[in-house]
A and B are shown apart, each in its own frame.
Chain A
């Protein structure tokens, strides 16, 4: 339903949003018409000096009247809440089989990276009909990933990961916009989402300069940045082993338990003193400023791959 008043409806989520939008639109149009009609009718009928009936007020105009419309409004609004909230909850998490894309925002561009290692700037190619999960972070200020055709928007924060997901239902090129004010060229921070048929997407992926995939890049960084000096199997330093770490629950020195997810791994690189694993000295230096977000994503992908390669994932 694309028209003068609606952007293209190009994702499964867009259909739900438009349904709620149109529902509330009809309802508020009815209320507006009722209020305006009453005002106009009263204004004409009861203009000063008109012959309309006045005199003693009818019994109807009473306190019960007031309680009646207050209650009706209340029920109506609670119903609207329930309807919108239910739709919101069903779309909260991405399906497990979603394609993962990493997004890095910076003043003033979008960098996207596919699991194969293919990178794009201000563009993202995705296949139609497959859920796509976006794992996003910012290198500087807050940005917001906004695709009107998919009805999705999610703020992208510095030093933190946020996620959103979509499943495209139409092929074509759709605008990607930054929706959170981020400085001088905020309005130029635009890109495009290219939705392709799956076979075209596969073809497109193969002709990209692949480099290595994320996990392989991470493996190289693991050695070149010195991580392996402590965390490798053969190291003499007493450091936590990373095999099988991802997805596991880790006990910390202060007694808390945390799940080793992307956010935890990222924090452990940038703020190693924040969540110290039980039984280890807090001797790891911070890598804040030494690793950029792309490198952190690669290292995280490598650590994840260690979980599955040893066979005891999750």
Chain B
């Protein structure tokens, strides 16, 4: 202990880790520990992920035949709407930020908790209320507007539970905003001594950029849903053209949120992958500062491209040109990131553990999905493929291939830190490979069906598209297995998994310098930072296999 005494650290009495610090249900439901709240969020979004997954399973079975056999068109329309609403607002938007972001941001910057711990808990309760309203909406009979709530269908014509659906999403928005404000404040105010902005791990930058989008864009979603509720419930003529309203106005408002929302879903995924690739390649990330600027550029330009969802809506064709131009421009920072991840492998010492396989899968799928976006940015091609399965394939490559793969990458990377246990590695690798191929089999045929002209949201369809739908549905079966598999072996590992040390991957971040699972206040002594992240080898050299320099200077000494 002489070292500890010399640096001013005294030995500590034994203390429980955050999981064992209170064992009652109440201790969980009233906790303000960001790590526990992260677990609460994780349980909630896992429930919603499988609920929305069940809805789309029914849809994919129905689409095996062009005529459909098992359900009415109304049921079909409600199922795909429920899938979209729940996957977007109750899984993807909160997925990485509210679970891994919540768990890791304070630890990565060397803080004991987030800036507003009680607001953090409130965010979870708001999310649960929103979830309850949405489950009520489902039980009461569902909604059939699609996740986009286009007017005047949603306000004047639909006979389903639009009010409950809109209310659920409206409330979920406040949960997003609360968490966004919390992350921004935490990153500004609670960084450890020496943790300057350009020493932040890229995951922190990603959550920071995401939070800025959340705080600026989500109010617009709330406004548009309020207006839908006002028109449908109170009869205020806002979007109804018969009373001088404008249905296109809704689309502008909706996409002003919902296009940036795509970046809310993908930026955290980019952050996750930027942590994992350096660790398993034992390399510094290539072009750290470019990665930061690229994320900020995506967050900024992302606010000005919403019109590319509306090229056929009747909007001015000249406005269309501006949106088309900016949509091409925003592809540049995304390309930078792909090139940099690839370049980070150069002269590495690469091992292919499960998190790395998921992360490499992400890069492949994000590249494919991102490039398919070029077709949608060019107006003449977009006119042909918009509202077809081409678009369905495109955004699933980004959101499922991208964000969900990264979610699983994060889950496997930080699982030892969160639970203190290792999962069976070969099952993890098998799951990652299964997910990659299942995903491609599900969604690649949809590009083909889309260019051939199969519109989305079709219950019955012309028979020439059947072959593509059969391929998609078989892929979906594989994908379902790949999603269920981790549920099994990760649960197993909780009880029988090997104990993980503090730093099983020999990574450099501050979160790896505390115990697994971490103590309630994260660190036994305040970390001090004297170096940039990803210090896996000396500057100007290739990867080595030696011990990396972690960011916590106390550990270094």
* Contacts A5-B451, A31-B371 given; does A184 touch B77 at CB 8 Å: yes
> Judging by beta carbons under 8 Å apart, are B387 and A179 in contact?
yes
Assess whether A280 is interfacial by the CB under 8 Å rule. no
In the complex formed, the residue of A with least CB distance to B447 is: A5
Distance in angstroms from B425 CB to nearest chain A CB is 14
> Judging by beta carbons under 8 Å apart, are A87 and B542 in contact?
no
For residue B290, which residues in chain A have a CB less than 8 angstroms away from its CB?
66, 70
For residue A32, which residues in chain B have a CB less than 8 angstroms away from its CB?
367-368, 371
> Judging by beta carbons under 8 Å apart, are A39 and B343 in contact?
no
* Contacts A32-B368, A43-B350, A66-B290 given; does A17 touch B380 at CB 8 Å: yes
> Judging by beta carbons under 8 Å apart, are B247 and A81 in contact?
no
Query: Of A27, A140, A153, A180, which is within 8 A of B384 by CB?
Result: A153
For chain A, the count of residues having a C-beta within 8 Å of the partner chain is: 87
> Judging by beta carbons under 8 Å apart, are A16 and B380 in contact?
yes
Assess whether B386 is interfacial by the CB under 8 Å rule. yes
For residue B542, which residues in chain A have a CB less than 8 angstroms away from its CB?
54-57
> Judging by beta carbons under 8 Å apart, are A148 and B157 in contact?
no
A interface, over-half SS: mixed
> Judging by beta carbons under 8 Å apart, are A35 and B367 in contact?
yes
Assess whether B69 is interfacial by the CB under 8 Å rule. no
Assess whether B146 is interfacial by the CB under 8 Å rule. yes
What 0/1 pattern do residues 46 to 74 of A give for CB contact below 8 A with B? 11110011111100010101100110011
Query: Of A6, A155, A158, A271, which is within 8 A of B313 by CB?
Result: A155
Q: For B241, B325, B347, B367, which residue has the most chain A Cβ atoms within 10 angstroms? A: B347
**In whole angstroms, how far apart are the Cα atoms of A24 and B347 in the complex?**
32
> Judging by beta carbons under 8 Å apart, are B346 and A61 in contact?
yes
Query: Of A74, A85, A160, which is within 8 A of B321 by CB?
Result: A85
**In whole angstroms, how far apart are the Cα atoms of A178 and B244 in the complex?**
25
Distance in angstroms from A71 CB to nearest chain B CB is 9
**In whole angstroms, how far apart are the Cα atoms of A32 and B338 in the complex?**
11
Distance in angstroms from B152 CB to nearest chain A CB is 6
Assess whether A141 is interfacial by the CB under 8 Å rule. yes
**In whole angstroms, how far apart are the Cα atoms of A34 and B140 in the complex?**
51
> Judging by beta carbons under 8 Å apart, are A141 and B332 in contact?
no
Assess whether A1 is interfacial by the CB under 8 Å rule. no
Distance in angstroms from B101 CB to nearest chain A CB is 27
Assess whether B324 is interfacial by the CB under 8 Å rule. yes
Assess whether B22 is interfacial by the CB under 8 Å rule. no
**In whole angstroms, how far apart are the Cα atoms of A187 and B156 in the complex?**
20
> Judging by beta carbons under 8 Å apart, are A70 and B345 in contact?
no
* Contacts A42-B348, A160-B241 given; does A181 touch B153 at CB 8 Å: yes
Assess whether B158 is interfacial by the CB under 8 Å rule. yes
**In whole angstroms, how far apart are the Cα atoms of A92 and B345 in the complex?**
47
Assess whether B194 is interfacial by the CB under 8 Å rule. no
- The bracket for how many chain B residues form the interface is 35 or more
> Judging by beta carbons under 8 Å apart, are B248 and A157 in contact?
yes
Chain B residues 359 to 385 lying within 8 A of chain A, measured CB to CB, are 360, 363-364, 367-368, 371-372, 374-375, 377-381, 383-384
In the complex formed, the residue of B with least CB distance to A3 is: B452
In the complex formed, the residue of A with least CB distance to B241 is: A159
What 0/1 pattern do residues 166 to 182 of A give for CB contact below 8 A with B? 00000000010111111
**In whole angstroms, how far apart are the Cα atoms of A142 and B246 in the complex?**
12
Chain A residues 64 to 110 lying within 8 A of chain B, measured CB to CB, are 65-66, 69-70, 73-74, 77-78, 80-81, 83-85, 87-89, 91-92, 107
For residue B363, which residues in chain A have a CB less than 8 angstroms away from its CB?
35, 39
Assess whether A223 is interfacial by the CB under 8 Å rule. no
Query: Of B152, B282, B371, which is within 8 A of A141 by CB?
Result: B152
* Contacts A5-B448, A20-B380 given; does A81 touch B541 at CB 8 Å: no
> Judging by beta carbons under 8 Å apart, are A20 and B152 in contact?
no
In the complex formed, the residue of A with least CB distance to B315 is: A155
* Contacts A39-B342, A46-B347, A88-B317 given; does A7 touch B378 at CB 8 Å: no
Assess whether A279 is interfacial by the CB under 8 Å rule. no
For residue B343, which residues in chain A have a CB less than 8 angstroms away from its CB?
61, 65
> Judging by beta carbons under 8 Å apart, are A159 and B360 in contact?
no
> Judging by beta carbons under 8 Å apart, are B367 and A146 in contact?
no
In the complex formed, the residue of B with least CB distance to A188 is: B460
> Judging by beta carbons under 8 Å apart, are B352 and A91 in contact?
no
> Judging by beta carbons under 8 Å apart, are A84 and B73 in contact?
no
> Judging by beta carbons under 8 Å apart, are B348 and A46 in contact?
yes
Query: Of B157, B378, B379, B388, which is within 8 A of A24 by CB?
Result: B378
Assess whether B295 is interfacial by the CB under 8 Å rule. no
> Judging by beta carbons under 8 Å apart, are B335 and A42 in contact?
no
> Judging by beta carbons under 8 Å apart, are B374 and A184 in contact?
no
Query: Of B148, B325, B453, B455, which is within 8 A of A85 by CB?
Result: B325
* Contacts A43-B350, A56-B541, A183-B158 given; does A80 touch B74 at CB 8 Å: no
Assess whether A237 is interfacial by the CB under 8 Å rule. no
Chain B residues 131 to 165 lying within 8 A of chain A, measured CB to CB, are 144-146, 148, 150, 152-153, 156-158
Assess whether B543 is interfacial by the CB under 8 Å rule. yes
Assess whether B502 is interfacial by the CB under 8 Å rule. no
> Judging by beta carbons under 8 Å apart, are B540 and A77 in contact?
no
> Judging by beta carbons under 8 Å apart, are B241 and A48 in contact?
no
For residue B386, which residues in chain A have a CB less than 8 angstroms away from its CB?
153, 179
Assess whether B411 is interfacial by the CB under 8 Å rule. no
> Judging by beta carbons under 8 Å apart, are B153 and A182 in contact?
yes
Distance in angstroms from B452 CB to nearest chain A CB is 5
**In whole angstroms, how far apart are the Cα atoms of A159 and B237 in the complex?**
14
For residue A83, which residues in chain B have a CB less than 8 angstroms away from its CB?
378
In the complex formed, the residue of A with least CB distance to B334 is: A73
Assess whether A21 is interfacial by the CB under 8 Å rule. yes
Assess whether B39 is interfacial by the CB under 8 Å rule. no
* Contacts A38-B342, A159-B242 given; does A6 touch B360 at CB 8 Å: no
> Judging by beta carbons under 8 Å apart, are B241 and A180 in contact?
no
What 0/1 pattern do residues 177 to 213 of B give for CB contact below 8 A with A? 0000000000000000000000000000000000000
Q: For A13, A31, A149, which residue has the most chain B Cβ atoms within 10 angstroms? A: A31
> Judging by beta carbons under 8 Å apart, are A152 and B383 in contact?
yes
> Judging by beta carbons under 8 Å apart, are A46 and B349 in contact?
yes
> Judging by beta carbons under 8 Å apart, are B457 and A42 in contact?
no
For residue A89, which residues in chain B have a CB less than 8 angstroms away from its CB?
317, 321
For residue B232, which residues in chain A have a CB less than 8 angstroms away from its CB?
none
Distance in angstroms from A39 CB to nearest chain B CB is 6
Distance in angstroms from B319 CB to nearest chain A CB is 12
> Judging by beta carbons under 8 Å apart, are A21 and B387 in contact?
no
In the complex formed, the residue of A with least CB distance to B356 is: A43
* Contacts A48-B349, A85-B379, A175-B462 given; does A148 touch B335 at CB 8 Å: no
For residue A212, which residues in chain B have a CB less than 8 angstroms away from its CB?
none
* Contacts A81-B377, A91-B380, A158-B241 given; does A179 touch B455 at CB 8 Å: yes
* Contacts A77-B329, A162-B314, A187-B73 given; does A177 touch B455 at CB 8 Å: yes
Can you name 26 A-B pairs with beta carbons within 8 Å?
A20-B380, A31-B367, A35-B367, A38-B345, A39-B342, A39-B360, A39-B364, A42-B346, A43-B360, A46-B349, A49-B349, A81-B324, A84-B381, A85-B378, A92-B317, A142-B152, A142-B247, A153-B383, A154-B314, A158-B152, A180-B150, A180-B387, A181-B77, A184-B144, A186-B77, A187-B460
A interface with B by C-beta (< 8 Å): 4-7, 13, 16-17, 20-21, 24-25, 27-28, 31-32, 35-36, 38-39, 42-43, 46-49, 52-57, 61, 63, 65-66, 69-70, 73-74, 77-78, 80-81, 83-85, 87-89, 91-92, 107, 140-142, 144, 146, 148-149, 151-155, 157-160, 162, 175, 177-188, 190, 271, 274, 288-289
